[in-house]
Amino acid sequence: MDWKEVLRRRLATPNSGPNRKKSEQELKDEEMDLFTKYYSKWKGGRKNTNEFYKTIPRFYYRLPAEDEVLLQKLREESRAVFLQRKSRELLDNEELQNLWFLLDKHQTPPMIGEEAMINYENFLKVGEKAGPKCKQFFTAKVFAKLLHTDSYGRISIMQFFNYVMRKVWLHQTRIGLSLYDVAGQGYLRESDLENYILELIPTLPQLDGLEKSFYSFYVCTAVRKFFFFLDPLRTGQYLNLDKDHNGMLSKEELSRYGTATMTNVFLDRVFQECLTYDGEMDYKTYLDFVLALENRKEPAALQYIFKLLDIENKGYLNVFSLNYFFRAIQELMKIHGQDPVSFQDVKDEIFDMVKPKDPLKISLQDLINSNQGDTVTTILIDLNGFWTYENREALVANDNENSADLDDT
């Protein structure tokens, strides 16, 4: 058979020969064979799976146990070396002075008053000469961030230099705080922060006159404020409230806080919900209490007070809980010879101020969103605060009159 006959037969039989169309199953089988071939090659062969896994870099190291002293020391030393390296990456005083000199040399006239300016072209030139440590500051993003209304498209040299200084200072502080992270987990425990502030006190000029006997009070106050707002208050007041000088506050002693007009009902809730020792409050618990009352516009403070007002632990305030606290205000008004105010009127005012999503329930988020949380909580827990709210118009008018009298004189 000659080649012409072979060609004719192949053309007459499309499913045979090298050019035939492959079936769907054959294509899948071929694809699987190729995948198996290349996957096995990449993995190093099916029989070498363990060897392959050994080539993956280790990314997790367990924390050493308490009895593994050597491993603990190694971890501490490696963290110290790491932080030292990070510290060396920051600009030192000499490098900052050099940066200021370069910026001043490349300023772009005209000046705005006494303020030197620099355009983007000169900004980049300074970046090239300032050295690798400064590279992160000389970007288009930083320039645009500091660019405001200059008609020549320039930024203030002083503003830029202050920006660099703040960044350097923040990184220095971060590294300094990290040195007190004993566990090396990226956060500070209360005891870690106490150690940091205690060692910081001698370097603070504002505390030159602070007696060492008060160091512990200052440290506790500062640390408590950090922890309250992130997850110096009146230390003397705490000592004055502590009449029996046992270092703790009873409910009766705490009742003299401020203007001594908080209701007993509210104080009962404080001692029910807050951590106490044999029915008395320690200094740390007192600081939380004071921080909440003195910062009632802040979400963290409102959350603290809301928990006390939510007597049924339902996650919202209803008419019952509002009435529960306001009855104590009415009792105090009677004691002080004031005409009691109708709860119905107060309740309507509170709901009008807050405008909750549910017309019968006030949630914590409702209080925060209304920007009236401080007013609402004051009305419910403090007679003096309620009286000030009720007479707000008369007080404003009186202030205006006093201002007018001062102007006349």
State percent of the chain over pLDDT 90.
44
Q: What is the pLDDT of residue 327?
A: 94
Contact 138, 123 (CB under 8 A): yes
In this predicted model, what pLDDT tens digit does every residue of 37-53 receive, in sequence order? 766 766 555 455 566 56
Distance CA(173)–CA(159), nearest Å, equals: 21
Q: Which residues pair with 281 in a beta bridge?
A: 249
| Helix %, strand %, coil % of the chain (to 5) | 65, 5, 30
In this predicted model, what pLDDT tens digit does every residue of 68-82 receive, in sequence order? 888 888 888 888 888
Q: Which CATH architecture has domain 229-395?
A: Orthogonal Bundle (1.10)
Domain coordinates in residue numbering, the chain: 69-178, 229-395
Please, which pLDDT band fits residue 409 given cuts at 50, 70 and 90?
very low
Q: What is the pLDDT of residue 406?
A: 43
Alpha carbon separation from 225 to 43, 103, 171, 389 (Å, rounded): 55, 40, 22, 28
Q: What is the pLDDT of residue 393?
A: 66
Top pLDDT among 407 and 29 is at 29
In this predicted model, what pLDDT tens digit does every residue of 103-148 receive, in sequence order? 999 999 999 988 999 999 999 999 999 999 999 999 999 999 999 8
Which of 279, 218, 288, 217 shows the shortest CA–CA distance to 253?
279
Q: Is the pLDDT of residue 236 over 90?
A: no
Please, which pLDDT band fits residue 233 given cuts at 50, 70 and 90?
very low
Please, which pLDDT band fits residue 5 given cuts at 50, 70 and 90?
low
Q: Is the pLDDT of residue 209 over 90?
A: no
Alpha carbon separation from 241 to 281, 291, 379, 397 (Å, rounded): 11, 16, 24, 35
Q: Which amino acid is at 398?
A: N
Count Cβ atoms below 10 Å from residue 260 Cβ, excluding itself. Answer: 11
Q: Is the pLDDT of residue 180 over 80?
A: yes
Mean pLDDT confidence for 374-384:
93
Mean pLDDT confidence for 246-253:
90
Please, which pLDDT band fits residue 3 given cuts at 50, 70 and 90?
very low
pTM for the full predicted model: 0.51
Top pLDDT among 49 and 292 is at 292
Terminus-to-terminus CA distance in the chain, angstroms?
131
Three-state DSSP class for 280? strand
